[in-house]
A and B are shown apart, each in its own frame.
Chain A
Amino acid sequence: MKPGKSLLSHVKTWVWTIVIVVSILIGCAFGADLREIKERGSLRHLGVPYANFVTGSGDGLDVELVKLFAQHLGVRYEYVKTSWKDVIGDLSGKKVKPKGDDIEILGDVPVKGDIIANGLTILPWREKIIDYSTPTFPTQVWLVARADSAMKPIKPSGDINKDIAAVKAMLRERSVLGKADTCLDPALYSLKKVGAMVRLFNGSLNALAPAVINRDAEATILDLPDALIALEKWPGNIKVIGPVSPMQNMGYAFPKTSPRLRDTFNQFFKQCRKDGTYLRLIKKYYPAVFRYYPEFFEEK
């Protein structure tokens, strides 16, 4: 046997050994996520009051569903209040900054929760740091303007890209409210690039529509579920101009170290859809969305 070949064989053996060990370690780490929750006896739900997902009054679509999930796991439900700014870090343990569809990790922060269930839109940058469940809710980001705005709602063309372009075309020198680090971050939809006067809102997402009515800006971008609630609450005061994003989905987020927990949730969610539990909750909290996208909520 040649010395060179012997060295290569030796290296291969080491590489395989390392791969196996790492796999085992990762497996162990993954295996610990659900076990840890069961040992701890509580499921920590990270939430920020938003629309009817988390009302802030102890209920909401996501609050009820996570409570049912905790019950399914046989552990105690625990609500952990957080903010849009910290919610990703509170789950992943990493302080991150989105950069387009990518992220920059700024440092470590304490992990405070096991699951984000808060009408969290599935975005590419977020998927870099957290895992999502199967989609739980359809959404789209609309431009909503005050009723007396000179901007007129677009006429649907049947092509979503054309519709988005039509909406953005109207935004030049128009003031638009958004919220950083959320799915309503104007940077995600390149609003500045089309000449919009972007303003970042400091209040909660629920306060965006009232801010527009109060003339803080001419328009804002809203999630579809939030927009529908705003139309119900303030009819005649606002109008939907059109979409600034294609159809999106919301999902429940899990740490990347908790695959078992996520898989268990997906199975649980599937069962909820099958037995009508989820439909009942949707009709309770978002009847309009159910009517808007009945095909999404029909049992698959």
Chain B
Amino acid sequence: MRSVWTLPKRRNFALVVVSVALVTYIGFLLGANYLSQLELQESALEQLRQDTEKRATAVSYFYSERKNDLKDLAASREISIFFENKALGMSMEYGLRASLFGIAQSFERLLEDRKLDEDRIYTRIVFVDSDGKLLIDSQPINAKRGHEWDWKKFLAPESLAATIIAKHDRGRSRVMVSIPYFFKNKYTGQIIAWISAQTLYNHLVKVAGASSKRSVFIISGKDQFHFPADVESEAAFSGLSDLGNIEIGKTHRFEAVRKDGAKVNMLAVRVPVNDTPFSLVTVLPVTEVFGRAAPQHLLLAMGVLALILLSGTAIVLRINTQNLVLHARLKEASGRKREIEEKNQQLEKEIAERKRAEDLLKRTHDELERRVEQRTAELAKANKELRIEITERKRVEEALRESEERHRLLLESSPDPIVVYDMEGKATYINPAFVQTFGWSRDEFLGNRIDFVPEKNWPETKAAMGMLRGEKVESFETKCFTKDEKLLDIHLSSSIFKGKDGQPAGNIVVLRDITETKRLEAQLHHAQKMEAIGTLAGGVAHDLNNVLSGLVSYPDLLLMEIPEYSPLRKPILTIQQSGERAAAIVQDLLTLARRGAAITDVINLNDIISDYFKTPEHIKLEALHPHVQFEMNLEKNLLNILGSPVHLSKTIMNLVSNAAEAIPYGGKVFISTTNRYIDCPIKGYDDVQEGDYVVLSVSDTGIGISPDDLKKIFEPFYTKKVMGRSGTGLGMAVVWGTVKDHKGYIDVISTEGKGTRFELYFPVTRQEPVDKQTSVSIEHYMGSETILVVDDVEEQRQIASQMLSKLGYSVRAVSSGEEAVEYMKNNPVDLLVLDMIMDPGIDGLDTYKRILEFHPGQKAIIVSGFSETERVKEAQRLGAGAYVKKPYILEKIGLHVRTELDK
């Protein structure tokens, strides 16, 4: 407590010391402030002077520019042109006035160009001639000009430079710039330009700021003010008249009277405007510069104020000291109270903390239990799913095993050879069909690279390999070698299989053996060709036979008419033989078309060969090929065969003819026959089956046949010969057809440049040949019965009628079936000679049917140029007799007619 009371005493002492120091300091400040006030006033005056000087400089520059404007104007070409034209003597009326327009335009340009912001500097420009007459005025003629000037007063020829003229006229100040104009050194006039006081004052003189009480005046002389009218009214102070007397550079104080009568202490500064007759005077109330209080009064006021402040401060300090003691005690009591409260709060906080910890512990425990339960449930669920998955996997594995077994069985049991390749092109699997077809065992083939594809089929193989790289490849046909070098036709198809990773793992190649299929296809193709030829041949055979009838039938009639010793008999017989051969060829064509028709005669091939070598065809062949030798080597005890002599003769002729023609520069043709027993099939051009055969061999030493041609030589119309000269394209087809009709085989061996050998295998027969039919005497087939010949061809009717008439028969002929039916209704005959095919109208069968309706048992024979058809057989079933092919000879038709009549 004692310390509390001793503290104020010490502080009071310190306060006294501080107060004395403060009083001293305040006294110093008051003194310094007084001196500063004095300096500030000086500075304000200086600033005022500088401001006025700055404005004066701007005004001076402004007028300098205006003088330059007038100098430029005086130097302009427009003014000189006027005076030049005037000097030439031109009158205003006739041309000179136009020159004034140029001057006027230059004045207008100056008025327009010279501006401060948007305010024009010049208000008017005139040109006054040396006589004082106004020549050009920029103001419009009709503009109000106020009053006119005495222009002569403006003339100033003595002044060479531009001058500024200030005129105070009727209360208005006007400033002009004027310059004399000289044309050819002769004074000819004066240019005068009016300056806008408003523009000058607003832009260069006027003090900015509405609150400023400062005014700036332009003065010329001692009492001429130059500023706009509105400024004049605002600055209407009395007592300003002495401003013209203010000494330049000095500050002038004076008392002025305002409009309201109040006296105001004013301050003025005057600054000259260089190169002009003007000065600028800045006028403002003293208070604007120095303020309202004098510096000494300010000093006294501030001293009193300082004492009051010091006394107040001492009292405040005293009160503050007592407050400090009380405050200290109060602070001590409150401190203790705060400590107790803080401890209580600490305790409450700890209790709350523990309670929160317990709650947290309980929540954590609960959460833990919940998580354990959840995890247990999840584990149970996972176990259940795992069991299901294991079961599913087992099922899948089982299905996979079954699938693999099924596929393995499929592969193993597939009749088509199958090879599985890996991505590197190595075979990893072959099925039993592959082993069986191609001959390689699994050990030989797997893991080894065996090229069983012929070289020429590599492109297809490469394409197939392309499939391994994912390129799309269609299935295709190729050829493959077997282990024993046999070439098979293969239909190859391939597909990629993927591994577990979904990427291609290899490909499965199925190699189907289509060799047999291809052969059958070829046979079918051949058969179709032959069918086509047959259709063609059948179509023409009928007509050809009709044509040949004349050649075959008429010689008989002619021979009966001419004597035995006549030299014509031989040529007529030759004609007949040729006709018969031609007819036989036609018959061959028909036979080729309808193979298997006439293989019924028991013949010995040697007889056929011998007969052939006597034929005119062979004699002619030998004549055509004199450089070719024909040699025969015939088996003496050659066995018989069943066959068609005509076909076989034709076959021999074709083979021999071809052999001779294959020898261009001399050589031999060998014809041989032999008996041969085949005990195992021969794989040759044709696969010859086991059995007894008569083999006809025709070989030559000619040019040979290329392998490609060899495949096609038996195809109809395939020929290397010149058509129309020696071949018809059917020769070898007839050979093939004949051999096949005789159930034989053909083997061909040919080497280009060396020759060709054909071997024809004919199955032997144990039958004996029938004796050759001997010629029958004409009396045996002559008669006197009535015969009706029915034929749509006129020539055929004539031949038949003449032959049968020759034999004693009573013959009638009609040209159609319908006609025959009508004839028979009223004229029954003993025998009908019926042509089978008649066009138009009903054919032989229908004719016969209709006649049978009213003449049951009517006898008839059938004649036709076409081969024996079902309709022929149908007619024969109805009662018709023999079928006689056209062309026929007298004996043939006669015997058949007689035989039928004798039935």
Interface residues of A (CB under 8 A from B): 142, 147, 152-156, 163, 227-228, 231-232, 235-236, 239-243, 287-288, 291-292
Closest to A235 in B: B81
Q: Could you say which residues of chain B place their CB within 8 Å of the CB of A291?
A: 97-98, 101, 104
Q: Could you say which residues of chain A place their CB within 8 Å of the CB of B81?
A: 235-236
Distance (Å) between the CB of A189 and the closest chain B CB? 15
Q: Quick one: which of B77, B89, B90, B98 contacts A292, CB cutoff 8 A? A: B98
Q: Could you say which residues of chain A place their CB within 8 Å of the CB of B93?
A: 156
Distance (Å) between the CB of A169 and the closest chain B CB? 15
Assess whether B95 is in contact with A142, with CB atoms less than 8 Å apart: yes
Assess whether B89 is in contact with A152, with CB atoms less than 8 Å apart: yes
Q: Which B43-93 residues sit within 8 Å CB-CB of chain A?
A: 77, 81, 84-85, 88-93
Assess whether B85 is in contact with A231, with CB atoms less than 8 Å apart: yes
Assess whether A228 is in contact with B94, with CB atoms less than 8 Å apart: no
Assess whether A154 is in contact with B91, with CB atoms less than 8 Å apart: yes
Assess whether B84 is in contact with A153, with CB atoms less than 8 Å apart: no
New A-B contacts (18) at CB < 8 Å, excluding given A239-B89, A239-B90, A240-B90: A147-B88, A153-B91, A154-B91, A156-B92, A156-B93, A156-B94, A227-B95, A231-B98, A235-B81, A236-B81, A236-B84, A240-B95, A242-B91, A287-B105, A288-B98, A291-B97, A291-B101, A292-B98
Assess whether A239 is in contact with B101, with CB atoms less than 8 Å apart: no
Measured between alpha carbons, how far is A155 from B96 in the docked complex, in Å? 12
Interface bits B170-214 vs A (CB < 8 Å: 1, else 0): 000000000000000000000000000000000000000000000
Q: Is the interface of A mostly helix, strand, loop or mixed?
A: mixed
Distance (Å) between the CB of B104 and the closest chain A CB? 8
Closest to A289 in B: B98
7 pairs of A and B residues whose beta carbons are closest in the complex: A240-B95, A235-B81, A239-B88, A156-B93, A153-B89, A153-B90, A288-B98
26 pairs, CB–CB < 8 Å, chain A vs chain B: A142-B94, A153-B88, A153-B89, A153-B90, A153-B95, A154-B94, A156-B93, A156-B94, A228-B98, A231-B85, A231-B95, A231-B99, A235-B77, A235-B84, A235-B85, A235-B99, A236-B85, A236-B88, A239-B88, A239-B89, A239-B90, A240-B90, A243-B94, A287-B105, A288-B101, A291-B97
Distance (Å) between the CB of A135 and the closest chain B CB? 20
Measured between alpha carbons, how far is A227 from B81 in the docked complex, in Å? 15
Q: Could you say which residues of chain A place their CB within 8 Å of the CB of B104?
A: 291
Q: Could you say which residues of chain B place their CB within 8 Å of the CB of A228?
A: 95, 98
Distance (Å) between the CB of A220 and the closest chain B CB? 14
Interface centre among B77, B85, B94 (most CB of A within 10 A): B94
Distance (Å) between the CB of B79 and the closest chain A CB? 11
Q: How many residues of B contact A (CB 8 A)?
A: 20
Q: Is B879 an interface residue (CB 8 A)?
A: no
Distance (Å) between the CB of B396 and the closest chain A CB? 91
* Given A235-B81, A236-B84; A292-B97 close (CB under 8 Å): yes
Closest to B104 in A: A291
Q: Is B8 an interface residue (CB 8 A)?
A: no
Interface centre among A142, A152, A153 (most CB of B within 10 A): A153
Q: Is B228 an interface residue (CB 8 A)?
A: no
Q: Is B157 an interface residue (CB 8 A)?
A: no
Measured between alpha carbons, how far is A28 from B88 in the docked complex, in Å? 58
Distance (Å) between the CB of B378 and the closest chain A CB? 93
Measured between alpha carbons, how far is A254 from B102 in the docked complex, in Å? 36
Q: Could you say which residues of chain A place their CB within 8 Å of the CB of B77?
A: 235
Distance (Å) between the CB of A23 and the closest chain B CB? 49
* Given A153-B88, A153-B89; A232-B102 close (CB under 8 Å): yes
Distance (Å) between the CB of A202 and the closest chain B CB? 26
Distance (Å) between the CB of B136 and the closest chain A CB? 11
Distance (Å) between the CB of A168 and the closest chain B CB? 14
Measured between alpha carbons, how far is A154 from B99 in the docked complex, in Å? 17
Measured between alpha carbons, how far is A19 from B98 in the docked complex, in Å? 54
Measured between alpha carbons, how far is A152 from B94 in the docked complex, in Å? 12
Distance (Å) between the CB of B80 and the closest chain A CB? 8
Distance (Å) between the CB of B126 and the closest chain A CB? 17
Q: Could you say which residues of chain B place their CB within 8 Å of the CB of A231?
A: 85, 95, 98-99
Q: Could you say which residues of chain A place their CB within 8 Å of the CB of B97?
A: 291-292
Closest to A156 in B: B93
* Given A147-B88, A153-B88, A236-B81; A242-B94 close (CB under 8 Å): yes
Q: Quick one: which of A147, A155, A236, A288 contacts B91, CB cutoff 8 A? A: A155
